[in-house]
Amino acid sequence: MTFAKIERRSLPDEVYDRVLGQIVSGSLTPGQALPSERALAEALGVSRPAVREALQRLAHAGLVTVRQGGATTVGDVRRTGGLDVLPHLLLPGGDLDLAVARSILEARLAIGPVVAGLAAERHGHAAALHAAVTAIATDTDPVGRQHQALAFWELVVDAADSVAFRLMFNSLRAAYEPALRALSTVMADEVDRVEHYRALADAITAGDADTARRLAHDLLGHATQALLHALDLLEGARR
């Protein structure tokens, strides 16, 4: 039996997440004024410096506007927020936002082939890519295979040598990882296609960008269509 380490978080982190949760859930709306630092500190049971640090972080992320001597107002998260907000938007209040989930799947399918093509053009990490394919092939646990597949794509992103795509990948992964176990059945068609991963690794290693893009689209497309279909069914059930 293994145990995960207990993660200790700072009070500003907790305040940041509490306020962000209220914003993405719609409890705090764009343009609405937040309570004063004193009122927030009393309501949350923390110090004013903890609240101040959290508000500064929210302001730097474009989620609130802090006016010196005036009220702190909520921004429009979809217009001013960055990719780091994506995991919070996916599960506002603990319920899956189907529109956000659909957009993540669409982004995954659109970005993956582009990144694979860049990786082939700037090809490297050959040994690591093939080792990652072996890890996918030898992992018999469905959730473990998804983790191994993510490790493979992380190497592809590294080979693409693009900071922007790397940050996008980080955010998409952060949104996707909490749902790995729930998605294990529908993702099996993708992560079980070991030979397809191997062919993609070969194309990247050989510097064949066109083939890498095609193989990446084929690989990601199967699970994407299955997941989109599942979302459509869930959306119909909610109506």
Tens digits of residue pLDDT in 56-89: 999 988 899 988 777 899 999 888 888 878 878 8
In the DSSP assignment, the letter for residue 33 is: B
pTM value? 0.76
Question: Does position 6 have pLDDT exceeding 70, yes or no?
Answer: no
Rounded mean pLDDT, 171-196: 84
- Residue 171 near residue 84, CB atoms below 8 Å: yes
Question: Does position 157 have pLDDT exceeding 60, yes or no?
Answer: yes
- Give me the pLDDT at residue 8, please: 57
Distances (CA, A) of 115 to 5, 106, 147, 174, 208: 33, 15, 19, 18, 13
Question: Can you say how many angstroms the Cα of residue 59 is from the centroid of all Cα atoms in its chain?
Answer: 21
Instruction: Give the span between the Cα atoms of 151 and 171, in whole angstroms.
Output: 15
Residues 6 or more apart whose Cβ sits within 8 Å of residue 205:
123, 126, 129, 130
Question: Does position 4 have pLDDT exceeding 60, yes or no?
Answer: no
Of 11-15, 120-124, 190-194, minimum mean pLDDT range:
120-124
Of 4-13, 157-166, 190-199, minimum mean pLDDT range:
4-13
Residue 236 CB-density burial (10 A; 0-12 exposed, 13-18 middle, 19+ buried): exposed
Report phi then psi at 207, rounded to 5: 75, 20
Tens digits of residue pLDDT in 136-154: 999 999 999 999 999 999 9
